[in-house]
Structure 1
Amino acid sequence: MFPSSATPDQEVEDGLISYIPFSDGYDDGFHGYHSRPEVDHFMSRSKQIASENLSSLVASLTARGCPVTFVIYTLFSPWVAGVARDHGIPSILYWIQSATVFAIYYHYFHGYDGLVAAHRSEPLITVRLPGLRPFHIRDLPSLLTISADDLHYSSLTTVREVFAAADSEKAWPRPTVLVNSFDALEVDGLAAVDDKVNVITLGPLLPSGHTRDDKDSDELTSATDLFKSDRKAYMEWLDTKPEGSVVYVSFGTIVVARKRQLEEILLGLTECGRPYLLVVRKDNPREGVELVEGENGMVVEWCSQTRVLAHPSVGCFVTHCGWNSSLESLAYGVPTVAVPQMWDQRMNACMAEEAWGTGIRGELNEEGVLEGSELRRCLEVVMGEGELGVEIRRQAEIWRDNVREAIGDGGSSDRNLRAFVKEAMRKATE
C-alpha cells in the first residue's frame, strides 16, 4: 500500500488521516490455501502476532503524547476489540456487509444454527428467521452452508468471534454496530435485530462525486483505486458510446473467473451485440482465452469502478454482487445482472432482484458457470424495451435518488454519522 515508505512501519500522512502499518507476521502474504490445518494455523498465528504489534503501536502512540481514544474494527479483525479492551479504549464494529446479512448471522449465532445446518444441502428449501422475509438456503451467506472441512470454515469461526466481541463491548448500553447501508434500503433487515442491537447506518460510503452529475477530481478518485489503470483510455472509449448502451463487467477484487466462465462471458457479450467494458484482472488465468477488443469491446486489467458507473454511456453492470459493488450500482442508478459467487453475494443478488427491483439474477449451470446464452438473455431483459427492463431501469433511478437523499445534508445517514461522532467523542473523554 505504501511502496515509497522508507521503513515497513513508517507513518504516512494523508491530509487529516495518518496510516501506520503493523505486521501480522505474513508480510509476504500467505500462500498455504491447500488444507484446513494450514488455514487454521495462519488465522491463529496472524491474530496473535497482529494483536501483539497493534498493542505495541497503541502503547507507543500514548508514549508520544498521541493516545488512541477510540477504535473501529471490521469484519475479519475481531481481535482488535480485545486489544482496545486491554488498553481501556472504547471500540465499535464497522460491519462492511448489508444489515440484512448482519441480521442473518445474528440469528444464526443466537439459536438458529441448527435450523440452517439441518437444510444445508437443500438449496431451494425455505428458511424463516425472526423479522426477515423467507429466504431459500441458496440465498444465505455461503459460510453458513459449508462443511467443517471446508477451507473457509475458519472464516465462519472469525465471524462468530466478531459477534462475541460486539456483544461484550461495555462502552455502549447494548451491542452497537456501524453498518454501510441506509435506513430506507433495508427496513426489514434493520428491524429484525432492532430490539437486540443498536445498528447505526452510515452509508453508502462512497468516494468524492457520488452521482452522474458530479465531477470528482482525478486526484481524489485515484486514491480509491486498488490497482493502477489507464483511466484516460477507457474513459475516452466510453465517451464514444451512446447513453445507456455499454455493458460493464467486473467481478471485483477477490473472485478470479475460471477459464470456462471467462469464455462464456465473452460468448454472451459477443452474441448480445452491445458495446462492453470487461475487467479481467492481471492475476486472472487467460491461457487459451481470446480477449477480443475493438470498436465494440474493451478489456482492461482494472478500472475506477465509480468513475465507470458514473459515466452516462453505462447501461448495465454485470457483477458478482459484493456489497460495495451493490451499493455503487444503486448510487449511480445502474441496473445489474447478478452473478454471485460466495460470501454475502448471494443475498445481495437476491435483494437486488426481489427487494429493490434493480436487476435480475443470472442462473448458473450445474458447474456454477453462467453460460453465454443465459448472460445474453439477462442483458436483453435488463437493457431491452420489455416491460420488466423498463421497470428495472425505473427502480434503479428511484434508488439512485434515495441514496442522494440519505447521504445528503440532513439525510438519514448524514444525521446518524454526526450523532455517532459526537457520542464517540464523548465516550473518548469519559
Structure 2
Amino acid sequence: MAEKHILLVTFPAQGHINPSLQFAKRLAKHGLKVTILTTTSATARMSHTLSPSFHSLIDVLPFSTTLDLSTQDVPKFFQDLSDHGTKALEDAVAAKRADGRPYSRIVYNLLIPWAGHAARRLGVPFTLLWIQPAALFSVYFHYYYKKFNPSDEVIELPGLPLLRRRDLPSFFLETNPSVYNFVIPMLIDNFEILDGEDERPTVVVNTFDALEAEALRELNKYRLLAIGPLIPSAFLDGADQSDASFGGDLIQKSENYMQFLDSSERESVIYVAFGSYSELPRLQTEAIAEALVRIGRPFLWVMRDSEEKEKLSCKEEFVKRGRVVNWCNQVEVLSHRSVGCFVTHCGWNSTLESVAAGVPVVTLPQWADQGTNAKLVEDLWRCGVRAVKGEIVEADEIVRCLEMVMDGGDESREMRERAKKWRGLAREAVDDGGTSQLNLGIFLDQIVGGG
C-alpha cells in the first residue's frame, strides 16, 4: 500500500483543516502517502503548531491566492480560491504524473467542489470528505431533489427528527445575508459531481454509526462511510498518546489554562467557546458574561478578541470567577475532569468533540449548520439543551440552561449519563473492530483496488 498517494484538498478555515488533518493522519498510519493542499495564508499560520512527527507522515503543499478569508467580499474570495486552487491542483497532478508516481485519489471537503470537478476532468478517482453530520448531508440531498420547501414551517425527512424552519441551516432562512446566497448552490454542486459517477459513489463522513444510524442508512444512493470522530487519538481511543492535538491551529493558543482546570473541582467548570469564525454581537457577549457571574461557577472562556473582556460592564466580578484565554486545545479542555458543561455555538467539530468527551452542552447556534446540530443535540441525542433565541439570547435564558445542566438534579444527571453513553459509543467506533475502523478499512480497500 506504500506506493498509494492521496492528495487531500481542504478549505483554509480551522473547522475544515482540523478534521482534514486528522483524516490525513489516519490514512498515513495505514501506510498511505498523504499530501495536504491548501492556501499559503493557512499553511503559514499552521507551521507554528505542526509537529516534526506530522511532517514525517504528511506533506503540506501550499498555493497562493489574491484574497483570504479576512476579505469583506466573500463571494469574490470563493471565486479567487476556486481559480487559484484549481490551477494548483492541476499542477500538482501533472507534476506527480511526470514523476511516474501519480496520485491514487483526491479527497476534498464540502466547500470546494471545484476540486471534485478538476479531479474528474483529470481522470483521478476522488472522494468527498463530508465534515458535517450525516443529517446535514441528508438535508442538502433532499433539497437538491426538491423533497421539501425551506419555507415550510415543519419539515419531515426520512431518517431525521421532525425539523422546524429554525432547525435548517441558516443559508435557507430569510434572515440569511444576501452575501451568502452563493453557498446553497455551491453545496448542491457536490451532489451534481457525485451523481456524475458511473458507479455508486463513496462519501466519507465525520460521524459514527451509532450516533447517526438512521441518517446514514436512509441515503442508499451513496455509500456513506462513517469514519469519525476525527479527533486526536489521545482523547478518543488512547491508542496513540503522542497524537494529542490536531496540529494545525491558525490561532496561537494561551498557556495558562490547564493549571486553572487542574485546581478546579470535578465537573465544576463551565467551558465557553464559539469556534474560530463566529463573532458574537456585543450584547450577546454581555449576556453570557452576566449569566456566568450570576450562576457563580468557575468558567473558562475562549474569547478571541481579548479587548472584549475589558469592555464588559460586569468585568470586576467576571474576572474573579474564571479565566479568559485567546485560544486553547479544545479536545484537551473537554477531556479534563473539571469540565462539567460546554457553552458552544454548536459547530460540528465542537459538537462531535463534546460527544466524544462525554460533556453535556448548552447550545447557542449562530449560523450555517449550527442550528441543525443543536436540534440533534437536544432532541435526538438528548445530551444538551438549546438556549431559546430571539435576536439575542438573554442572560436569564442562559442561566436557566446552565442550571438545567449543572444543578445535579434528575434532569441534569440523566443528561450527563446520556453524554457519557455517547462517549463510550464513540470510543467503541474507533477501537479495533469498531464501525469507524471497519468503514475506514473499506475506504482503504477501495484505494488499493483502484475503485
Q: Give 1:338's match in structure 2, choosing from 363, 366, 373.
A: 363
**8 Å Cα contact 1:256-1:284 kept in structure 2:** no
**8 Å Cα contact 2:341-2:362 kept in structure 1:** yes
1:21 equivalent to 2:65? Answer: no
> Partner of 2:348 in structure 1?
323
TM-score (structure 2 length as normaliser) = 0.83
In the alignment, the residues of structure 2 paired with residue 323 and residue 99 of structure 1 have an alpha-carbon distance, to the nearest angstrom, of 11
| One-letter identity of the residue aligned with 1:154 | F
Deviation at 1:212, TM superposition (A): 9.8
Q: Give 2:98's match in structure 1, choosing from 63, 70, 79.
A: 63
Which string of whole-angstrom CA distances, capped at 9 and with x for unpartnered residues, describes residues 113-142 of structure 1?
Answer: 5x224x3xxxxx211123433211110111
> Partner of 1:54 in structure 2?
89
> Partner of 1:192 in structure 2?
218
Q: Give 1:207's match in structure 2, choosing from 212, 224, 232.
A: 232
> Partner of 2:252 in structure 1?
228
| One-letter identity of the residue aligned with 1:96 | I
Q: Give 1:75's match in structure 2, choosing from 107, 110, 113.
A: 110
Deviation at 1:54, TM superposition (A): 1.7
Percent identical residues: 37
Which string of whole-angstrom CA distances, capped at 9 and with x for unpartnered residues, describes residues 52-106 of structure 1?
Answer: 2221122122223432120001101111012111221100101000001101110
Deviation at 1:144, TM superposition (A): 2.0
In the alignment, the residues of structure 2 paired with residue 284 and residue 255 of structure 1 have an alpha-carbon distance, to the nearest angstrom, of 16
1:89 equivalent to 2:114? Answer: no
Structure 1 segment 137-148 matched on structure 2, within 5 A = 137-146=165-174
In the alignment, the residues of structure 1 paired with residue 395 and residue 75 of structure 2 have an alpha-carbon distance, to the nearest angstrom, of 38
In the alignment, the residues of structure 2 paired with residue 17 and residue 312 of structure 1 have an alpha-carbon distance, to the nearest angstrom, of 32
> Partner of 2:71 in structure 1?
31
In the alignment, the residues of structure 2 paired with residue 143 and residue 169 of structure 1 have an alpha-carbon distance, to the nearest angstrom, of 27
| One-letter identity of the residue aligned with 2:323 | M
Deviation at 1:187, TM superposition (A): 1.8
In the alignment, the residues of structure 2 paired with residue 316 and residue 67 of structure 1 have an alpha-carbon distance, to the nearest angstrom, of 47
> Partner of 1:183 in structure 2?
209
**8 Å Cα contact 2:46-2:247 kept in structure 1:** no
TM-score (structure 1 length as normaliser) = 0.87
- What is the SS of the residue equivalent to 1:21? strand
Deviation at 1:422, TM superposition (A): 1.4
Structure 1 segment 29-428 matched on structure 2, within 5 A = 29=69, 31-33=71-73, 39-113=74-148, 115-117=149-151, 119=152, 125-146=153-174, 150-170=178-198, 173-194=199-220, 196-211=221-236, 216-217=241-242, 220-221=244-245, 223-231=247-255, 233-282=256-305, 288-289=311-312, 291-292=315-316, 294=319, 296-365=321-390, 367=391, 369-427=392-450
Number of paired residues? 403
Which string of whole-angstrom CA distances, capped at 9 and with x for unpartnered residues, describes residues 204-251 of structure 1?
Answer: 11113124988945x8427243322233x1001101100000000000
Structure 1 residue ranges, 4+ long, deviating more than 6 angstroms after superposition: 212-215
- Larger relative contact order (CA 8 Å, sep ≥ 6): 2
- What is the SS of the residue equivalent to 1:112? coil
In the alignment, the residues of structure 2 paired with residue 274 and residue 79 of structure 1 have an alpha-carbon distance, to the nearest angstrom, of 47
Per the alignment, do residues 289 and 295 of structure 1 end up closer, same or farther by CA in structure 2, a change over 3 Å counting? closer
Per the alignment, do residues 239 and 146 of structure 1 end up closer, same or farther by CA in structure 2, a change over 3 Å counting? same
| One-letter identity of the residue aligned with 2:105 | F
In the alignment, the residues of structure 1 paired with residue 377 and residue 212 of structure 2 have an alpha-carbon distance, to the nearest angstrom, of 11
> Partner of 2:25 in structure 1?
none
In the alignment, the residues of structure 2 paired with residue 348 and residue 225 of structure 1 have an alpha-carbon distance, to the nearest angstrom, of 23
Which string of whole-angstrom CA distances, capped at 9 and with x for unpartnered residues, describes residues 236-292 of structure 1?
Answer: 110110000000000001101111111111000000000000111038856732555
Q: Which moved more, 1:312-321 or 1:143-152?
A: 143-152
